[in-house]
Amino acid sequence: MRREIRRSLPGLACLLLAGCGGWQSAMDAHGTSAASLKQLIILIVVVCSVVWMLVMIALIRALSRERAPRTAPVDVDAERVRRMSVFISAAVAATVIVISGFTVTSFFATRRLSVAGPDDLTVKVSGLQWWWNVQYFGATPAENFQTANEIHIPVGRNVRFQLEGDDVIHSFWVPSLAGKQDLIPGRPNELSVRAERAGIYRGQCAEFCGMQHAHMAFFVIAEPQADFDRWAEMQRQPAAQPADSEAAAGQQAFLSKPCAACHSVRGTAATGTSGPDLTHVGSRKTIAAGLFDTTRGSLAAWIADPQTLKPGNNMPMVTLSRDELLSVSAYLASLK
Ligand SMILES: [Cu+2]
């Protein structure tokens, strides 16, 4: 038992450190809104700690003061009553000042969160049980494209996320970049995000949305504008044609099975919309909303039995022969 506790200490230390800065933490701010929220958090925590300490000191003093015996007549000392009323008025005034101060600073911090400019990039994100559909818009509809669970943004530029839930309420949260915003069916919301530093930021659904809520993560990849443009240009392309006979067989199997009814692969007959767009699935870092790194092996495992890997998710198990499974996973892994 003791050894187990000792073994889990490094993990615990990592958790604490992550809370203080590092992996997915609002205190590790790299976005304009996250930075202003962090200032607000620090201000409120420091002021409230001081207030708490003052209250505790007053309480301890009051408790440890010697009291007159109960039977003694109440002796009204006019000077003491005056001092007490001055003290209580000062405490009330201090409370009003502190709360008004918080209200004003929160107001200005909130105003800074929704900056908008003509140069903004608009990205539409829909929350579904239990993955994220991400749509980018080009100058013409032919230049639109979609991806899933991975959002690329240019660093230093304001991005306006249009958020909507497609089934139940979800919440979009990338702690290092901005605050939370709900995705509500039938009520579009907006969230402005500006990454100040290039990096990969993990995000997470922050509103309980059913069985696999904990497995509804995503990544925001903030990169220089030129890298972003290159990525967007690549994503706009239709899917790569199979390069060898195995991938060609995989494409055949994919198109002839129910897969194509739920998934789109642009440039093929697969135009389903109830599952993630797979046009460039091989280029994404993870599958199943952050659950597994994208490798041919994880793709095969997922397709073979999605319900064991992510119980309750909306992809049914489709029976494939051994060869079909191998070729379909080869085909999808090749869709860079
Ligand atoms: Cu959720």
Structure tokens that stand for 126 in this block: 């829909």
Amino acid at 271: T
pLDDT digit string (tens) for 185-209?
Answer: 999 999 999 999 999 999 999 999 9
pLDDT at 73 over 70: no
Least confident of 68-72, 108-112, 171-175, 291-295: 68-72
Q: pTM score, two decimals?
A: 0.86
End-to-end CA distance of the chain: 47
- What's the CA gap between 136 and 134, in Å, rounded? 7
Cα(80) to centroid of ligand 1, in Å? 58
Q: Ligand 1 centroid vs 209 CA: distance in angstroms?
A: 4
Write the CB contacts of 154 (distance below 8 Å, at least 6 apart in sequence).
Answer: 121, 222, 223, 224, 225, 228
Per-residue confidence at 20, pLDDT binned at 50, 70, 90?
very low
SS3 177: coil
Span from the CA of 217 to the centroid of ligand 1 (angstroms): 9
| CA 319/CA 335 separation, integer angstroms | 22
Q: Tell me how crowded residue 321 is: count the other CB atoms within 10 A of its CB.
A: 9
The reported pLDDT for the residue numbered 21 is 45
Beta strands 189-193 and 181-183 are unpaired
- What is the C-alpha to C-alpha distance for residues 224 and 196, in angstroms, rounded to an integer? 10
pLDDT band at 111 (very low <50, low <70, confident <90, very high): confident
What is the 202 CA–ligand 1 centroid distance (Å)? Answer: 15
Give residue 79 CA to ligand 1 midpoint distance, Å.
60
Q: What pLDDT does 288 receive?
A: 97
CA 213 to centroid of ligand 1, rounded, Å: 4
Distance 131 CA to ligand 1 centre (A): 9
Distance 149 CA to ligand 1 centre (A): 13
State the distance from the centre of ligand 1 to the C-alpha of 10, rounded, in angstroms: 29
6 CA distance to ligand 1 middle (Å):
33
Q: With contact defined as beta carbons under 8 Å apart, do 131 and 151 qualify?
A: no
List beta partners, residue 184. 187
Q: Give the integer Cα–Cα distance in Å for 259 and 62.
A: 72
Residue 130 CA, ligand 1 centroid: distance in Å: 7
